[in-house]
Chains A and B, each alone.
Chain A
C-alpha cells in the first residue's frame, strides 16, 4: 500500500538526476588535475566545479533520498496514508528551488567557495539562500516524520513503533538538530556579509558552527543505508533480523553521539581548546559502537539466512547465501567499503594520527569510500527494492543490476585507494593543479592516473543504473504484492518506552551538545574581535 507513489518517485528521480550531473563533474575534476590532461589553466573553473559537485552530492542528493525513502517507509511501515502530503510536496519544491537558486551563482563563478563555505571567503548571497531553502525543505520532512509517528502512536497505544519507522524518525531528528549548526553559520554569520551589511566575519566561530553539522551530516546520509541493512536486507535474502532491540539501540546511539563530535574536523584549528578536542575525540570513538553493533547484527542475520538455506559448518553458511541476489551483493560490497572507510576514519579521529593526513587527499578518499561507496551503493539497492512498488512494474534486468553494483564497488575501490595512498605521500586536497614534472610530486602521478579510471568505472556504473531504472519504467505492469520489511527472529510484542520513542535520547543529544560545544562557542562570542575582512569571491577588486 503506497498512496504517495508519485511523491516518492519524484524525490528519487530528482535525487538521481542531481547525482548523475554531479558525478559527471566529479570525473571531470579528477581528469583535469591528473597527469593525463594538460592543466586547464584556470583554477577558478575547477573550484566552481568542486563547489557544484560537493553541494549537489552533499546537500541535495542524500537529503532527497532520505526524504523520499522516509515517506515510503511511513506508508509501508505504518500501513496508513502519509499525513501532510501537501507539505511534503512543498518540501520537495523548496529543495528543488533551493538547489537551482544555489547552482546559478555557482555556475556563474560567483560562489566558488566549495560546499564547506570557507569563510572569510564569501560568495554570492543566492548560493547561501539556496542552501538554506534546501535545508528548510528537509526540515518540513523532519516535522512530517515526527507528526506521522506521533499520530500512529496515539492510534496504537502500547504497541512498538515498527523498526523501519523508528529508525527513519531517528534519522529525521538527527538531521533536524545537526542542520542547526550550519543554519546558524549561514543565516547569522555569513548571509549578512554576503548581502553587504557587514564586511568582516569571525571565520573561527563560523568553522565551529559548521563542524556542528559537518560530521553528523554523514550519519544523516548513512541512515537510509542502515535502515536498509536492518529492515530490507534480511527479508531480501530470505532470512530474519537477528535482533529488533539491538537495531533500536544502534539508531538511538546514532542520535545521541553522532552530533556533538564535529570538532574532530577542527584538530588543526587554533580557536578550540585541546580539552574540547579530546572530549569530542572520545565521543567520536563512541560512534563506532552503533556501527559495530550493526555489523554484528546484520552478519548474524545473514548467518540465519545462510543456515536456513542449508549452509553448514563455521563458514558453509557464507557460501549458501544467495549471492546472485543484488541486495546480497550490495550489502556485502557496502560492508567491505564501510570496513576500509571506517578504519581510515579511526585514523582521522585520532589527534596525533590526524596530523599526518589532515587536509590531504586521504580525507577525500575516506569520505568518498564511506559516502559514495558504502552509503550510495545501498541507495542503489534501495531504489532497486522499491522501484517495482513505486511503478507497479517489475525490474527484471538482474544481470545489469549485478554488473552495475560490481562496477560501482570496483570503481570506488580503484578511485579511493590511490587517493588514500597519495594522501599519505602528502598530496594536499582541494588543490586545482599539481606539477607532476616536479620530482617531489612525480611519484604520485601513477596513483592519480589510476583513480581517474576508477572514476570512469563509476560513470559507466551510473549509466547502467539509469538503464535499469528506465527499463523498469517500460516493463509490463505487474502486481508487486504488499511491501514487507524484515521480520525479527523474536518479533517485539511490546518494547520498553525508552526504545519506542526519542524523548530521553533527544534530551541527551542536546545536553551533550551543550557540554561539548557550549563553552567553545560562548568563548568565541564573548571574546569578540576575531572578525577578519571578508574575501568576496568573483567580486571586482
Chain B
C-alpha cells in the first residue's frame, strides 16, 4: 500500500470532498433556515432563532396569541380494537338490564321508532362511542342526551357489550332486488366521497362505524343532513361531515332508501 494518507487536509481528495460537502451543507442551511423563513410572507418571526426553529419544525405558538376556541364540544373518544375484547358475559348481563330503558325508543327486534337506529348486533365500538359523545355533549339530542349523562364509563361498556352480543335481526321489509345507487356502490371520487362500504362494512369496517343495513331511512337521512349542515359534528376527523356536504339531497335520499331495504 502506498504511504498516501487519506484523512488529512493535505490530501486534496479529502480536502475537496469534505470542503465541498461542508460548503453545500452550510449554504443550504443558511438558505433553508434563515433566508427562506424570512422570505415567506406573513411568517411572523420574532427573530433569527425563531426563524431557525420554525424551519426546523419545532412546535411553537404563533406570534398571534390565542387560537380560536370551538363553539361546540369536540369528541374526545379514543378507542382501539383491544378495548372490545372477548365477550364478558357479566358485562352483557349488566348491559341487558341497563338496556331496558333504551327499548322505549330503540325497541327490540327492529321494532323501534323510525327516528332511532337499530342497535341489535351493532359493533361494540359504535355503541360505546356514541354514548360517550352523548354524555360529553359532542353529540346532542333532546331525548337521548339526558339518558346518556347518567351513564358511567362501565355502564357504557356494558351496553356496548350487550348490543354487540345480540344477533343482528333480519330486515323488516327487505328488497334485495333494489340495485345499489352509484353513490353507495362507487361513491363520488371527484368529490372525495368513498363508497359507504369502505368504512361501514362489506369492504372494510372501521372502528367505531355502525352497520347500516336495514336502518330506518328516516334515521339515515336525518343523520346525513345533520352532518351536512353541521348540527352533528362528533365525527372526529370530519369524515362524515366532509362526505355528507358533498352529497346532493337526491343522493342522500337514495342512500337512505337503499340501506333501509337491505336484509
Q: B24, B55, B189, B204: which contacts A286 (Cβ < 8 A)?
A: B24
Interface residues of B in 22-65 (CB under 8 A from A): 24-25, 28-29, 31-33, 36-37, 52, 54-59
Instruction: Verify if B116 is at the interface (C-beta below 8 Å from A).
Output: no
Residues of A near B55 (CB, < 8 A) are 273-276, 278
Interface residues of A in 499-541 (CB under 8 A from B): 499, 501, 503-505, 508, 511-512, 515, 519-520, 523, 527, 533-536, 539, 541
Residues of A near B29 (CB, < 8 A) are 275, 279
Residues of B near A438 (CB, < 8 A) are 188-190
| Contact size range, B | 35 or more
Q: Are A199 and B57 in contact (CB under 8 A)?
A: no
Q: Are B36 and A523 in contact (CB under 8 A)?
A: no
Instruction: Verify if B178 is at the interface (C-beta below 8 Å from A).
Output: no
B9-31 vs A, CB cutoff 8 Å, 1 = contact: the mask equals 00101100110010011001101
Interface residues of B in 207-224 (CB under 8 A from A): 207
A431 vs B195: C-alpha distance when bound (angstroms): 12
Q: Are B186 and A497 in contact (CB under 8 A)?
A: no
Instruction: Verify if A313 is at the interface (C-beta below 8 Å from B).
Output: no
Q: Are B25 and A279 in contact (CB under 8 A)?
A: yes
Q: B1, B4, B78: which contacts A496 (Cβ < 8 A)?
A: B4
Instruction: Verify if B205 is at the interface (C-beta below 8 Å from A).
Output: yes
Closest to A533 in B: B80
Q: Are B17 and A275 in contact (CB under 8 A)?
A: no
Instruction: Verify if A256 is at the interface (C-beta below 8 Å from B).
Output: yes
Most buried by A among B17, B57, B205: B57
A33 vs B123: C-alpha distance when bound (angstroms): 32
Residues of B near A446 (CB, < 8 A) are none
Q: Are A433 and B186 in contact (CB under 8 A)?
A: yes
Q: Are B205 and A541 in contact (CB under 8 A)?
A: yes
Instruction: Verify if A200 is at the interface (C-beta below 8 Å from B).
Output: yes
Closest to A541 in B: B205
Q: How many residues of A contact B (CB 8 A)?
A: 52
Instruction: Verify if B82 is at the interface (C-beta below 8 Å from A).
Output: yes
Instruction: Verify if A44 is at the interface (C-beta below 8 Å from B).
Output: yes
Q: Are A499 and B188 in contact (CB under 8 A)?
A: no
Instruction: Verify if A85 is at the interface (C-beta below 8 Å from B).
Output: no
* Contact A273 B2, CB 8 Å, known A441-B190, A498-B11: no
Closest to B205 in A: A541
Residues of A near B32 (CB, < 8 A) are 274-279, 282
Residues of B near A200 (CB, < 8 A) are 80
Q: Are B198 and A541 in contact (CB under 8 A)?
A: no
Q: Are A199 and B81 in contact (CB under 8 A)?
A: yes
Q: Are A523 and B80 in contact (CB under 8 A)?
A: no
Q: A441, A496, A541: which contacts B13 (Cβ < 8 A)?
A: A496
Residues of B near A256 (CB, < 8 A) are 17, 21
A275 vs B31: C-alpha distance when bound (angstroms): 8
Instruction: Verify if A272 is at the interface (C-beta below 8 Å from B).
Output: yes
Instruction: Verify if A335 is at the interface (C-beta below 8 Å from B).
Output: no
Interface residues of A in 229-283 (CB under 8 A from B): 256, 271-279, 282-283
Q: Are B203 and A44 in contact (CB under 8 A)?
A: yes
A535 vs B24: C-alpha distance when bound (angstroms): 41
* Contact A527 B80, CB 8 Å, known A279-B25, A498-B14: no
Q: B6, B37, B78, B190: which contacts A275 (Cβ < 8 A)?
A: B37
Instruction: Verify if A494 is at the interface (C-beta below 8 Å from B).
Output: yes
A153 vs B82: C-alpha distance when bound (angstroms): 57
Instruction: Verify if B90 is at the interface (C-beta below 8 Å from A).
Output: no
A213 vs B2: C-alpha distance when bound (angstroms): 36
Please give the distance in Å from B55's CB to the nearest CB on chain A.
Answer: 3
A469 vs B190: C-alpha distance when bound (angstroms): 46
B170-205 vs A, CB cutoff 8 Å, 1 = contact: the mask equals 000000000000100010111000000010000111
Instruction: Verify if A435 is at the interface (C-beta below 8 Å from B).
Output: yes
Please give the distance in Å from B50's CB to the nearest CB on chain A.
Answer: 12
Please give the distance in Å from B84's CB to the nearest CB on chain A.
Answer: 9
Interface residues of A in 364-420 (CB under 8 A from B): none
Instruction: Verify if A158 is at the interface (C-beta below 8 Å from B).
Output: yes
Q: Are A275 and B36 in contact (CB under 8 A)?
A: yes
Q: Are B189 and A497 in contact (CB under 8 A)?
A: no
Q: Are A497 and B80 in contact (CB under 8 A)?
A: no
Q: Are B190 and A498 in contact (CB under 8 A)?
A: no
A440 vs B191: C-alpha distance when bound (angstroms): 10
Please give the distance in Å from B20's CB to the nearest CB on chain A.
Answer: 10
Closest to B21 in A: A508
* Contact A282 B36, CB 8 Å, known A434-B189, A435-B188, A533-B80: no
Q: Could you list 16 further interchain pairs (A-B, Cβ under 8 angstroms) beyond the known A501-B6, A505-B17, A523-B57?
A: A43-B198, A153-B1, A274-B54, A275-B29, A283-B28, A286-B24, A431-B189, A435-B190, A440-B190, A496-B4, A497-B2, A498-B13, A508-B21, A527-B59, A535-B207, A541-B206
